[in-house]
Amino acid sequence: MSGGHETGKLFIVAAPSGAGKSTLVNALLAREPDIVLSISYTDRAPRPNESDGKHYHFVTPDVFDAMAARGDFYEYAIVLGDRKGTARTAVEPILATGRDVLLEIDWQGARQVRKAKPDCVSIFILPPSRAELERRLRARATDSEATIERRLAVSREEISHAHEFDCIVVNDRFDDALAQLQAIVRAARAGGPLPKERHAALIRQLLAP
């Protein structure tokens, strides 16, 4: 773009639960100060360790309904029983200043955002194996066995949509995965080609019964 202000890039990062997405995203944000994490809206109550405007924008179901009816959201979905959404008003003003915005959302949300903003760059993070995914989910020690089983079942569904994303990163060694994320961000900013590794064999293994 010549003249005027460069518009920021919109990045989407999605992953199955247990792939280590949040840790990677937080490390990326620490290294790339020009990327801002978009804070989602949710109609569930805050958990004890959460604060409004930092973890989520917490609103009542009525307010969420009104925002959805006005078309305020790029996307919203029901995630494990709660509604979460990405508001245009939380993203577009930041992009207009030339800073990048990162969305941490699921594959359904990513599909909706790609329709609304086709120039976004979508990244899917995979675990290195099914055993490692299960190990990471169990290591949290906060979830019941039933929740872990449900998350594992949901992870299969999520991984089956990995091919819809522009880039796929395997979070095996953390530093390598972080370096790959940074490379994708820099390539997108420079208008260069994005990494094309599709990890088809790993995806087949992760989806195997």
What are the tokens at 168?
A: 């796929």
Helices 130-139 & 145-159, crossing angle to 10 degrees? 140
Residues 6 or more apart whose Cβ sits within 8 Å of residue 209: none
Give me the DSSP letters along 166-192: SEEEE-SSHHHHHHHHHHHHHHHHHT-
* Share above pLDDT 70 across residues of the chain, in percent, rounded to a whole number: 98
Total length of the chain = 209
Quote the mean pLDDT of the chain. 93
Could you tell me the pLDDT band of residue 77, with boundaries at 50, 70 and 90?
confident
pLDDT at 2: 41
How does pLDDT run across 81-121, given as a tens digit for each residue? 899 999 998 999 999 999 999 999 989 899 999 999 999 99
209, pLDDT greater than 90: no
pLDDT at 4: 53
Domain architecture of the chain: domains with CATH: 10-38+99-207 (3.40.50.300)
Residue 20 one-letter amino acid: G
How does pLDDT run across 33-54, given as a tens digit for each residue? 999 999 999 999 999 999 999 9
How does pLDDT run across 128-167, given as a tens digit for each residue? 999 999 999 999 878 899 999 999 999 999 999 999 999 9
pLDDT at 5: 65
Question: For the whole prediction, is pTM greater than 0.75?
Answer: yes
Q: Could you say which DSSP state residue 163 is in?
A: G
Could you tell me the pLDDT band of residue 6, with boundaries at 50, 70 and 90?
confident
pLDDT at 3: 44
pLDDT at 1: 40
d(CA 203, CA 126) in angstroms, rounded, equals: 8
pLDDT at 140: 81
| Per-position b or e across 133-170, b if 16+ CB within 10 A of its CB | bbeebeeeeeeeeeebeebbeebeebbebbeebbbbbb
* Share above pLDDT 90 across residues of the chain, in percent, rounded to a whole number: 87
How does pLDDT run across 159-198, given as a tens digit for each residue? 999 999 999 999 999 999 999 999 999 999 999 999 999 9
